[in-house]
Structure 1
Amino acid sequence: HVDLDREIPGTLYAAVAEALAWVYQLTAWRQSGGQYPVPPRDLQVPPELVPEAVQETLPEMVNG
């Protein structure tokens, strides 16, 4: 959630890049098999860019 014409924080770019890389690897795995790609962990997203709905579910996701 970044306004148009505003700079996107580098930490957000890194998190998106890591997630997209995993999706690409997952697609390749589905097509060709092999070792299942390791999902990204500890994606660094600035708290002010995390939507409220996600913030409410984070404790449940982390604690199970």
Structure 2
Amino acid sequence: MRIRRVVLLMAVGAALAGCGADGEPIQPTMSANVGVGTSGTYGGVGVGLRRGGLGVYLGL
């Protein structure tokens, strides 16, 4: 289920990045993190798009 979300998120990001192919360049970003705490380990991923002064970021 989690892998499906990540793949869907990447597909949406790629589709949005393709929309700006003829205009101002869109700057994609991606981040991933892994942490260890007293209750176990956790991880997260996120993708973002930035065009001019507008930025959109989605994280899981």
The two structures share one fold, judged by TM-score above 0.5: no
**Larger proportion of helix:** 1
Tell me the TM-score normalised to structure 2 length: 0.38
Larger Rg: 1
Q: Greater RCO between the two (CA within 8 Å, min separation 6)? A: 1
**Larger proportion of strand:** 2
